Structure 1
Amino acid sequence: MIIVLAKAFPKDDNAKNQIIEFSKYLIENSKLEEGNIDYNLLVDTSDDFLMFVEKWESVETLQKHMQTKHFIEFGENIGNLVSGDLEIDVFDSKKLEF
Structure 2
Amino acid sequence: MHIIHAHIKVKSSERETFLDLTKSLISGSQAEPGNISYQLFQDTNDINTFIMVEEWKDLDAIHYHNQTGHFIEFGKKAIDILASPVVVKTFEVKEIL
| TM-score (structure 2 length as normaliser) | 0.94
Alignment match, 1:83: 83
Per-residue deviation, residues 34-78 of structure 1 (Å, max 9, x unmatched) = 000010000112034111000000011101100110000001111
Per-residue deviation, residues 21-41 of structure 1 (Å, max 9, x unmatched) = 100000001011000001000
RMSD (Å) for aligned C-alpha atoms: 1.0
Alignment match, 1:96: 96
Identity of aligned residues (%): 32
Dislocated runs of 4+, deviation >2 Å: none
SS of 1:55's equivalent in the other structure is strand
The answer for unaligned runs of 5 or more in structure 1 is none
- Report how many aligned residue pairs link the two structures: 96
| TM-score (structure 1 length as normaliser) | 0.93
Counterpart mapping for 1:1-98 below 5 A = 1-12=1-12, 14-47=13-46, 48-97=48-97
The answer for unaligned runs of 5 or more in structure 2 is none
